C-alpha cells in the first residue's frame, strides 16, 4: 500500500454495514464470493463482518481471513473485551488484519444508550484500544455519532486513543445529519487541534439520510481525511452509505480538481455492482450514478447526435473505465464455446472448465430464444451460475405449465428432489400465475416460510429480454433471498422461489 499523501484508502463495508440493509441477508459462501470480488476491485480494507454478533458472522469473517488475499481484512467490535477477542480469533488467519472498535461519542449516545459519563467513555475507549493492540498492530477506532459530538470531548477522545495505539481514526456521520460545510470544518478542526493526529489516518464513514454521504466524504477529503468508508451500490442501514463507485469515479474523473487517487481497479466496478445487486436482492435503480442502467444511455436526439460525433460531448466517463464494453461481434445461436470464453475474458471472467461448460449450456439455451446475446446477458448468466454454486441444492425445477386469463390461474409444477432422486408434481390455483406457482411450490416443499417481497426487472431492452426475478422468504425473523433470470418471467419466478427455498433448507437441515 502506497504511503503517498494523495492516496485515498478505500474501506469497503458492504459485508458489514451493507448487509445490515433490511432483507440483504447473505450466507457464508456468498460473503466469500463478494470478498473475492472486492479484492479483485482493489479495495484496501474489507470490513468482513461483526464476528461477535453471530456464529455465522464469525465463520464468514474467519473464512474470508483464510482465503482472501491482497486486502486488509477487518472485523468490527464494540469497545468490550469479549467483542475484541472474538474479532481477533476470527481474523487470526489473515495475512493483513485490522480490528475496528467503536464507542458512542455524542451526548445523545452517552446519556441514552451507553449510560456513561465522558470520563468513563474516555477510560473505556483507551483501555479497549490497548487491549486490541495486544492482538494486532492495525487498530481502527470509531467515535460513533461524531458528527453530533461535543467537539472538545471528541478532540480529547481522539488524542487519547491515538496515544493508546489507534492507527486509524474514523469520524462517522452515523445518522447522516451533518452537511458538507460542517463536516469539512470538523475534519479541519481535528487536523489543527489534535496534537498527535499525524500518527493516524483520518477516516470518514458517512450515511446518506439527507443524500449527502458522497458530498460529505469529499468535503472530508479536501480537509485532510485519507480513508473513505463506503459500500458497493451505496448499500447500508436506512438510506445507505457513501457509494464506493461514486467516490472512486469522482476522484478519477476530476483528478486535477482533487489531486487525489485510489488503488481501485475501476474496470471491475460494473461487474462487482451487478454481483452485489444479485446476491443481496437489491436491484440498482436505473438512474443511479455510475452503475445504473441509464448512466450511459442517451435518449435525447440532440444528445445522441453529439455522442455520435464525439463521445465527450455528453459522456464524462468512458463506459469501458468501469468495465462496460460494447459488443464488437454479436453472439448468437451459432457462436461457439471459444467465442463465449473470449467475450467472458473481456468482461473479466476467467472460468474453470466446468464453469465454462455450465455457462455455455445456459448461453446456448438463451441464444435459441434471443437473436443476440448481450454482455449484460452474459454477466447475468455467469453471476446466476456462480450464485447457484455457493448453496446446497435440494430441489430443481423440471417442468412448469401455466393456465391464466380471466378464469382461475392455475400452475402445474414438477420439481426434482435431488436428495431422494424423485419427481414431485402438483397443481394449484392462485390469484395470478405467480401466486399459483408459489402455492404449488409450498405444497410440494412444505417449508414454513412467508413470501414477503417479489420484484422483477429486465436485464436488457426488447421483447425477448431476460427478466430477473428477486424474492424474499421469511422464516422465524430471518430473510432468505432468491434470484433467477430467464426470458420467461414465470420460469424465472419459479426458479427464484427454489433458490430462496434451497437457502432456507440449507439452514434448517
User: How far is residue 453 from each of residues 335, 391, 480, 482, 483, measured CA to CA in Å?
Assistant: 37, 21, 10, 10, 12
**Would 2 be classed as within a structural domain?**
no
**287 lies in a domain?**
no
Q: Which domain holds residue 483?
A: 391-508
d(CA 308, CA 285): 26
In a domain, 23, yes or no: yes
Residue 4 in any domain: the answer is no
What residues contact 121, with CB distance under 8 A and at least 6 apart? 103, 104, 105, 110, 114, 157
Judgement on whether residues 444 and 358 belong to the same structural domain of the protein: no
Tell me, yes or no, whether 144 and 85 share the same domain: yes
Q: Which of 223, 245, 280 is the last residue of a domain?
A: 280
Domain total for the chain?
4
Let me know: does 84 contact 101? Beta carbons within 8 Å: yes
Same domain, 66 and 140: yes
Q: Tell me, yes or no, if the pTM score tops 0.75.
A: yes
Looking at residue 506, what is its pLDDT?
A: 85
- Of 387, 418, 434, the residue at which a domain comes to its end is 387
CATH of the domain at 261: 3.20.20.70
Joined together, the cell numbers standing for residue 456 give 422483477
Report yes or no on 145 lying in a domain: yes
Is residue 474 included in any domain, yes or no? yes
Residue bearing cell 451459432:
334
pLDDT at 460: 72
pLDDT at position 327: 52
- Whether 195 is in a domain gets the answer yes
User: What confidence score (pLDDT) does residue 330 get?
Assistant: 65
pLDDT of residue 333: 76
Q: Mind listing the pLDDT tens digit of every residue in the chain (509 residues)?
A: 445 789 999 999 999 998 887 777 788 988 999 999 999 999 999 999 999 999 999 999 999 999 999 999 999 999 999 999 999 999 999 999 999 999 999 999 999 999 999 999 999 999 999 999 999 999 999 999 999 999 999 999 999 999 999 999 999 999 999 999 999 999 999 999 999 999 999 999 999 999 999 999 999 999 999 999 999 999 999 999 999 999 999 999 999 999 999 999 999 999 999 899 988 888 898 899 999 888 876 554 544 455 456 566 667 899 889 988 755 556 777 788 888 888 888 777 888 888 888 888 888 888 888 767 877 788 878 877 766 666 788 999 999 999 988 778 999 999 999 999 999 999 999 999 999 999 999 999 988 889 999 998 887 777 777 888 999 999 888 888 898 888 899 999 999 999 999 988 988 87
Instruction: Please tell me the predicted confidence (pLDDT) of residue 1.
Output: 40
String of DSSP letters for 432-480: SHHHHHHHHHHHHH----EEEEEEEEESSSSTT--EEEEEEEEETTEEE
Q: Are residues 257 and 315 in the same domain?
A: no
Q: Do 381 and 407 lie in a common domain?
A: no
Q: What pLDDT score does 387 carry?
A: 65
Q: Do 18 and 123 share a domain, yes or no?
A: yes
Whether residue 418 sits in one domain with residue 301: no
> How buried is 465 (Cβ within 10 angstroms: 0-12 exposed, 13-18 middle, 19+ buried)?
middle
441 and 370 share one domain: no
pLDDT at residue 154 in the model: 98
* DSSP code per residue over 213-280: HHHHHHHHHHTT--EEEEBGGG--STT-B-BHHHHHHHHHHTHHHH--B----GGGHHHHHHHHHHHH
Looking at the structure, do residues 89 and 222 belong to the same domain, yes or no? yes
Q: Residue 481 and residue 324: Cα distance in Å, rounded?
A: 27
Predicted pLDDT at 203: 98
Task: Please say whether the dihedral angle defined by the alpha carbons of residues 321, 322, 325 and 326, taken in this order, is positive or negative.
Answer: negative
Same domain, 170 and 303: no
What angle do helix axes 337-346 and 353-367 make, rounded to 10 degrees?
A: 110
Q: What is the CATH classification number for the domain harbouring 399?
A: 3.30.160.270
| 232 in the same domain as 106 | yes
- Is residue 286 domain-resident? no
What CA–CA distance (Å, rounded) separates 426 from 443? Answer: 8
Whether 198 and 226 share a structural domain: yes
Amino acid at each position: 500500500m502506497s504511503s503517498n499523501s494523495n492516496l485515498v484508502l478505500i474501506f469497503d463495508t458492504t459485508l458489514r454495514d451493507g448487509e445490515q440493509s433490511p432483507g440483504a441477508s447473505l450466507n457464508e459462501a456468498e460473503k466469500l464470493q463478494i470478498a473475492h470480488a472486492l479484492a479483485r476491485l482493489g479495495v484496501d480494507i474489507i470490513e468482513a463482518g461483526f464476528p461477535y454478533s453471530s456464529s455465522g458472522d464469525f465463520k464468514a469473517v474467519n473464512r474470508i481471513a483464510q482465503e482472501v488475499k491482497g486486502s486488509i481484512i477487518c472485523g468490527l467490535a464494540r469497545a468490550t473485551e469479549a467483542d475484541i477477542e472474538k474479532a481477533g480469533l476470527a481474523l487470526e488467519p489473515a495475512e493483513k488484519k485490522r480490528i475496528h472498535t467503536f464507542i458512542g461519542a455524542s451526548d445523545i449516545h452517552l446519556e441514552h444508550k451507553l449510560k456513561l459519563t465522558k470520563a468513563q467513555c474516555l477510560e473505556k475507549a483507551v483501555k479497549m484500544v490497548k487491549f486490541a493492540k495486544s492482538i494486532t498492530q492495525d487498530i481502527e477506532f470509531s467515535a460513533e455519532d461524531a458528527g453530533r459530538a461535543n467537539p472538545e470531548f471528541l478532540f480529547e477522545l481522539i488524542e487519547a486513543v491515538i496515544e493508546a495505539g489507534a492507527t486509524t481514526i474514523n469520524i462517522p456521520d452515523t445518522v447522516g445529519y451533518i452537511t458538507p460545510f460542517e463536516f469539512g470544518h470538523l475534519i479541519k478542526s481535528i487536523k489543527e487541534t489534535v496534537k498527535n493526529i499525524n500518527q493516524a489516518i483520518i477516516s470518514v464513514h458517512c450515511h446518506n439520510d439527507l443524500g449527502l454521504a458522497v458530498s460529505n466524504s469529499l468535503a472530508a477529503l479536501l480537509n485532510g481525511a485519507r480513508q473513505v468508508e463506503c459500500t458497493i451500490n451505496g448499500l447500508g442501514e436506512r438510506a445507505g452509505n457513501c457509494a464506493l463507485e461514486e467516490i472512486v469515479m469522482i476522484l478519477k474523473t476530476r483528478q486535477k480538481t482533487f489531486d487525489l487517487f485510489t488503488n481501485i481497479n475501476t474496470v471491475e466496478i460494473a461487474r462487482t455492482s451487478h454481483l452485489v445487486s444479485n446476491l443481496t436482492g437489491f436491484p440498482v435503480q436505473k438512474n443511479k450514478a455510475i452503475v445504473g442502467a441509464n448512466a450511459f444511455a442517451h435518449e435525447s436526439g440532440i444528445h445522441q447526435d453529439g455522442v455520435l460525433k464525439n463521445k465527450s460531448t455528453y459522456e464524462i466517463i468512458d463506459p469501458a473505465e468501469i468495465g462496460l464494453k460494447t459488443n464488437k461481434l454479436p453472439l448468437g445461436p451459432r457462436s461457439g464455446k471459444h467465442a463465449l470464453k473470449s467475450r467472458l475474458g473481456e468482461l473479466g471472467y476467467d472460468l474453470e472448465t466446468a464453469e465454462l461448460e455450465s455457462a455455455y449450456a445456459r448461453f446456448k439455451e438463451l441464444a435459441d430464444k434471443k437473436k443476440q446475446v448481450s454482455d449484460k446477458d452474459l454477466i447475468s448468466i455467469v453471476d446466476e451460475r456462480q450464485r447457484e454454486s455457493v448453496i446446497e441444492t435440494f430441489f430443481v425445477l423440471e417442468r412448469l405449465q401455466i393456465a391464466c386469463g380471466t378464469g382461475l390461474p392455475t400452475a402445474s409444477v414438477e420439481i426434482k428432489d435431488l436428495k431422494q432422486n424423485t419427481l414431485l408434481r402438483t397443481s394449484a390455483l392462485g390469484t395470478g400465475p405467480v401466486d399459483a406457482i408459489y402455492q404449488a411450490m409450498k405444497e410440494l416443499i412444505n417449508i414454513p416460510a412467508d413470501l414477503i417481497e417479489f420484484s422483477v426487472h429486465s436485464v436488457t431492452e426488447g421483447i425477448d429480454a431476460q427478466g430477473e426475478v428477486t424474492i424474499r422468504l421469511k422464516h422465524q425473523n430471518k430473510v432468505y433471498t432468491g434470484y433467477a433470470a430467464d426470458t420467461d418471467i414465470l420460469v424465472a419466478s419459479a426458479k427464484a422461489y427454489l433458490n430462496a427455498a434451497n437457502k432456507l433448507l440449507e439452514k434448517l437441515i
